[in-house]
Structure 1
Amino acid sequence: MTDPPSEPAAVAVALAELRGEVREGFATVNGSLNLLAQRGDQTDRRLDDHEQRLDSLERARWPLPSLAALVGAIGLGLTLWQLARGS
């Protein structure tokens, strides 16, 4: 028959198993953190891309309010000119 492991040996075995489980847990957490960091970088790149696209759209539409004001002023001028001619 084999002798049961002594108390210090059993503790050493339990600590070794616990160390292995802790290492495995840290590896899992590290993998998850790396994935989250990668997704965060991708999100930052997408936000930068959207910001650039919005800036280009805003630059392209600036003349519209100016053109609307110009057309309104021309319409007002023509109306006043017609009223002045008709009188």
Structure 2
Amino acid sequence: MTIPPPSDPAAVAVELEKLRGTVETGFATVNGSLALVAQRTDQTDRRIDDHAKRLAALERARWPLPSLAALVGVIGLALGLYQLIQN
């Protein structure tokens, strides 16, 4: 398949201008999509950071629970022994 030679240089220029417009439109669409993806990535990073901070706060708040359970157990044992000794 051979491409016929252009008959009019002005027609070639017009077609090239149309092609240029199409390419510019395509690049603008791609740039818009990339900007949207970058924005969503930033939002996701912020949400992950927020979740990590909240998880760290929950872990810090949770550490006394086993200590409190042990303390309550020891107090219960002491009260039981005290009652046993009193009777």
| Residue of structure 1 in register with 2:45 after alignment | 44
Q: CA deviation at 1:12?
A: 2.1
| Counterpart AA for 2:9 | P
- Amino-acid identity (%): 73
Q: Which runs of 5+ in 1 are unaligned?
A: none
Matched residue, 2:69: 68
What is the number of residues matched between the two proteins? Answer: 82
Could you list the runs of 5+ residues in structure 2 that have no partner in the other structure? 1-5
Structure 2 length-normalised TM: 0.74
When the two chains are superposed, the root-mean-square deviation of aligned CA atoms in Å is: 2.3
Name the counterpart of 2:13: 12
* CA–CA separation in structure 2 for the residues paired with 1:82 and 1:7: 112
Partner of 1:31 in structure 2?
Answer: 32
Amino acid at match of 2:36: L
Q: Distance in 2 between matches of 1:9 and 1:76?
A: 101
Q: Which has the higher contact order (CA 8 A, sep 6+)?
A: 2
SS in 2 for 1:6: coil
Q: Distance in 2 between matches of 1:13 and 1:80?
A: 101
> 1:21, CA displacement in angstroms?
0.4
**TM-score of the superposed pair, with normalisation by structure 1:** 0.74
Residue identity in the other structure for 2:57: S
